[in-house]
Structure 1
Amino acid sequence: MNRRIETTCLLALLMVPLASASAAECLPEVRDAWVRLPPAAMPMMAGFARIENPCDTPVTVVGADSLAFADVSLHETREENGVSRMREVDALPIAPGKAAELKPGGLHLMLHGPYQPLAEGEKPVITLKLADGRTLPVVFEVRKTAP
């Protein structure tokens, strides 16, 4: 009888790290990622996407970078007293089972200093940085208008 209890306890203890590892491996899913192509060559562009959190725990996007741009940052456009204002956002928390929309006129990625002109249909990679130190490379498609 004691041997059976010891075996059961040992199996339970061995399964704990497996459960923790699978939770740590869960990453947000990014859909409809695109970069707006400006009408003329400009030193900045904007990136949009839907970031879904299928995980059991919250995830927080705390930054981004790309080999295609000198600087990538998370921004939000808000209307204040009838004037549209943009400000940098330090973190984007996403609750379990929820999503964040990066879209024109709201949250978006500000893409500064493209290293070379981008054309419609090109697919730069932008890597999202998560608060826990993990990264998520995402392929964005350059488009003239929203999908």
Structure 2
Amino acid sequence: MKKDERLIQEMIYINSKKNFNLNDLIGEFDISRSTALRDISSLEELGVPLYSEKGSHGGYHVLENQLLPPIYFSNNELHSIFFSLQLLKTLLKTPFDKDYKEIKEKLLAILPKKQKEMVQQADQVIQFVGTNQKKSLPF
């Protein structure tokens, strides 16, 4: 499993458990101790609100006053979403024109910096060109 896919699965796992330790991650995802530690560090960088406690009842915990987004996207999924939004701009007129822009802004606002930059770079390079519609859409 690729690292980004594993991190998404770990986020879902962590969000459902709320409390876990390294052995939970190691067993669930069949990874080494060092990989589990690196993954926890990566998850924290992505904004997952974790804290750790030492001791026999210690481990990692998700902060209760923070909400994790319920949906996580891989890089390929993000590209698909933004490419689709860009393609929809080529339509002559729809009642959703404003919504497309707002969706894009909301998604960009919640992305980690690295993914946001990646999407913005792709958005500058890729452009969809097609024939103009002769009739407007019936809505």
Fold-level similarity (TM above 0.5): no
Indicate the structure with greater strand content: 1
- Greater helix content: 2
**TM class by shorter-chain length?**
under 0.3
TM-score, normalization by structure 1: 0.24
Q: TM-score, normalised by structure 2?
A: 0.25
